[in-house]
Amino acid sequence: MLTDSVEVLKGVGEKTKEDLALMEINTIEDLVMYFPSRYDMAEIKPLQELIHDDNVTIVGTIMHEPNLQFYGPKKSRLTLTVGIENVAVKAVMFNRAFAKKQLKQGDKVTLSGKWDAHRLQITVNYYQLGEPESDVKIQVFYSVKGNITNAKIKGLITQSLSKYAESIEEILPESYLDSYKIPNRKDAVIQLHTPDSPTTLKHARRRFVYEELLLFQLKMNLLKQRHKIDAGGIEQQIDIPIVEGFIEQLPFALTGAQQKVLQEIKRDMTSPIQMNRLLQGDVGSGKTAVATICLYASVTAGFQGAFMVPTEILAEQHYESLVSMLGDAVNITLLTSSIKGKKRREILEEIVEQKVDIVIGTHSLIQEEVKFAQLGFVVIDEQHRFGVKQRQTLREKGLSPDVLFMTATPIPRTLAITAFGDMDVSIIDELPAGRKEIETYWVKENMLDRVLQFIQKAIDRGEQAYVVSPLIEESEAFDYQNAIDLYEQLQDYYPEEVNIGLLHGRLTAEEKDAIMNDFALNKIHVLVATTVIEVGVNVPNATLMVIYDAERFGLSQLHQLRGRVGRGDKQSYCILIADPKGEVGKERMRIMTETNDGFVLSEEDLKLRGPGDFFGKKQSGLPEFKVADIVHDYRALEVARQDAANIVQNDLLEQDPAYKELQLLVSDEAIDQRFD
């Protein structure tokens, strides 16, 4: 049976069993579903076409017995000469003393490894006796742990397949195999381990990509459905005329996108289902304005609202802007970790007694001590900085508030439907009218002088500039020193009437406030800052963003920084000072100069960085797939998503026997295991 322990296999003793367990392989099924991590598809080419330093595969005849030398207890070097097309090629194998016995003079052998064209030598990492079956030899490589070698795991898998392959049953309905022209599960497993040809491998891979993505999307769909059924949300009786009146008197008219999103949110708020919605929109697209309207709407329905942001500066700034928008109509309070003691206790008291309508704060808002009387609406800004657990904690507080997650890092669609498949998604894809495109330039450090003059010109026009200081990775102390150095340098460079400010992470909240205030009032003309200004600061008169060491930032981060300017109606500029060494870095700079569209940038970022990196470490909540790769398998993801939606909508798991196997795999227990 597939569920048998690996112990039933020949060659699996206690030690091997332990090593396999490290790879999360305990049963025969685990083993046969442990797919290669890499394939080498080596085409056998004539010698003169082989490229120096490439990985190549050659076939030749062994000209004389191999020569074996030991140099250390386990270290050995085996050399042999192989005749190919009448040329003698030297082959070197390290630490494979055992191969000496297998490689006999006159035998044909297939060798793969690194080619040294100057010495006509190959450093072998894989060999096989005889000629390959076809012109294209596919080698499989597994990622292994402990004492398990690639050969060992291949042997065990071959052994398992020969005995148990027949037990591998189909889980997809027949009709899917037909319409997508994909092989059945058993054949696909066999082809993934021992591919006959690149084509059969491709089909096998396609099948498992689809299977994985379909299962994932199905679980997400069911989870979403379950959220809706379980979470007895609140039907908020919004006072529509009051809210509309409030929107009327705003100093601007809402964009079409803002209106559309507000409708989507309103529908959720007024329905008995708890909202779980992600609001995406580029920097400055007016998300905060939307959130403010929603918070106010909830207050008119008799509820309290909470607004969570990642940093204290941002909390303070949002507090200011909410107070200025909402005025005396509601009671708004700021609650950050720097508010302590008696003051804090008073605020907490007021929240419980519902003397406070809207609370703005950082993570401290979700601490146990904060109790709400009637929590109705929660906004979480820059949501990818909050873990899944934290979201849950907040949602469990008070009633079942409607929750709006906002992100200014536009998440590529591929990732959004994958990582946030259990949420509804709203998008603001339109900037307020009158905004000018920010012009972006990429310069090398030797043009610093011109950059400094460019800053001077902005100051002469009465405008202001941010200068983001060089960044030293993983050393806050160095960042700090760099910022100070730059600050002093600029003070020397510019005449006295130019006021330069310095903002960094070691300042107290009050000090930061004072500096930001002076900058907002144009008392400071040039603000030197470490990346603390990354999020949310709003000074429309600042029209120039200069970023040192721009190559050290990801595209999304650069875009965030750039979003600090271009907030008013004046032409804004962004200057990237960078000297990237690699192609990826250069490509990033080019893309930055070419587009202002956050969604385009994030798609590019994803391509350059890969999904694992996109959200930063571990917090991503991204599923790990064995075969699928959500960047490259984007189309399959779309198809799987539609199929999953169709299955759930039509209740096929319950109604149609063809879906029996799938149903077992996405049962409640299976979902709980995956997500809890």
Q: Which residues bind ligand ADP (CB under 6 A)?
A: 252, 254-255, 258, 281, 283-289, 408, 432, 538, 567
Q: What is the CA angle 139-141-147, rounded to 5?
A: 135
- Between residues 252 and 675, which has the closer beta carbon with respect to Mg ion? 252
* Binding segment toward Mg ion, per CB under 5 A, in 22-30, 31-39, 282-290, 554-562: 282-290
# residues near Mg ion by CB under 5 A: 1
Torsion sign across C-alpha atoms 124, 126, 128, 134 = negative
Which one of ligand ADP, Mg ion, none is in contact with 530 (Cβ closer than 5 to 8 A by kind)? none
The nearest distance, CB 413 to ligand ADP, in angstroms, is 19
User: Of the listed pieces 93-101, 263-271, 283-291, 305-313, which binds Mg ion according to CB under 5 A?
Assistant: 283-291
In angstroms, give the least distance from the CB of 432 to ligand ADP: 3
User: Choosing among Mg ion, ligand ADP, none, which partner's interface includes residue 283 (Cβ < 5 to 8 Å by kind)?
Assistant: ligand ADP
Shortest distance in whole angstroms from residue 538 CB to ligand ADP: 6
Give min distance, CB of 470 to Mg ion, in A.
26
CB of 310 to ligand ADP, least distance (A): 13
258 binds, among Mg ion, ligand ADP, none (CB under 5 to 8 A by kind): ligand ADP
Q: Dihedrals φ, ψ of 539, to 5°? A: -130, 95
Taking the least distance from each CB to Mg ion, the nearer of 428 and 555 is 428
User: Of 285 and 469, which CB lies nearer to ligand ADP in the complex structure?
Assistant: 285
User: Smallest gap, in angstroms, from Cβ of residue 559 to ligand ADP?
Assistant: 12
Residue 191 or 288: the one with the smaller Cβ distance to Mg ion is 288
Q: Are 234 and 403 in contact (CB under 8 A)?
A: no
**How far is residue 132's CA from residue 521's CA, in Å, rounded to a whole number?**
75
Q: Which is nearer to ligand ADP, 200 or 285 (CB)?
A: 285
Q: Which partner from the list Mg ion, ligand ADP, none does 286 bind, CB cut-off 5 to 8 Å by kind?
A: ligand ADP
Number of Cβ within 10 Å of residue 303's Cβ equals 27
Sorted by sequence, the CB contacts under 8 Å of residue 23 that are 6+ apart come out as 34, 143, 144, 145, 146, 148
- In whole angstroms, give the CA distance from residue 490 to residue 574: 18
The smaller minimum CB distance to ligand ADP, of residues 56 and 408, is found at 408
- CA 676, CA 673: separation in Å to the nearest integer? 6
Q: Which residue has the tokens 């054949």?
A: 187
Residue 191 or 292 having the CB closest to Mg ion: 292
Candidates 71-79, 197-205, 287-295, 510-518: pick the segment binding Mg ion (CB under 5 A). 287-295
Q: How deeply is 32 buried, as exposed, middle or buried, from its count of CB atoms within 10 A (0-12, 13-18, 19+)?
A: buried
Q: Which is nearer to ligand ADP, 279 or 662 (by Cβ)?
A: 279
List Cβ neighbours of 426 (8 Å cut-off, separation of 6 or more): 260, 261, 264, 265, 277, 278, 279, 280
From the list Mg ion, ligand ADP, none, partner contacted by residue 538 (C-beta under 5 to 8 A by kind): ligand ADP
Q: How far apart are CA 288 and CA 284, in angstroms?
A: 9
CA distance 546 to 558: 11
How many angstroms from the chain centroid is the CA of residue 451? 33
432's contact among ligand ADP, Mg ion, none, with CB below 5 to 8 A by partner kind, is ligand ADP
8 Å CB contact between 44 and 135: yes
From 286-294, 326-334, 358-366, 526-534, give the range in contact with Mg ion by CB under 5 A: 286-294
Instruction: Report the nearest approach of ligand ADP to the CB of residue 247 (Å).
Output: 10
Q: Does 280 bind Mg ion (CB under 5 A)?
A: no
Going by C-alpha positions, the residue among 413, 418, 395 that lies closest to residue 405 is: 395
CB of 249 to Mg ion, least distance (A): 21
- CA dist list (Å): 138 to 96, 305, 623: 21, 59, 29
We find the least distance from the C-beta atom of residue 284 to Mg ion, in angstroms, to be 8
CA 241, CA 245: separation in Å to the nearest integer?
6
Round to whole Å and give the CA distance between 411 and 420: 10
Matching residue, tokens 């390290």:
94
Segment interacting with Mg ion, rule: CB under 5 A, options 257-265, 288-296, 322-330, 580-588: 288-296
User: Is residue 288 close enough to count as binding Mg ion by CB under 5 A?
Assistant: yes
254 binds, among Mg ion, ligand ADP, none (CB under 5 to 8 A by kind): ligand ADP
CB of 290 to Mg ion, least distance (A): 10
Closest of 42, 95, 34, 102 to residue 66, by C-alpha: 102
Q: Write out the residues near Mg ion by the rule CB under 5 A.
A: 288
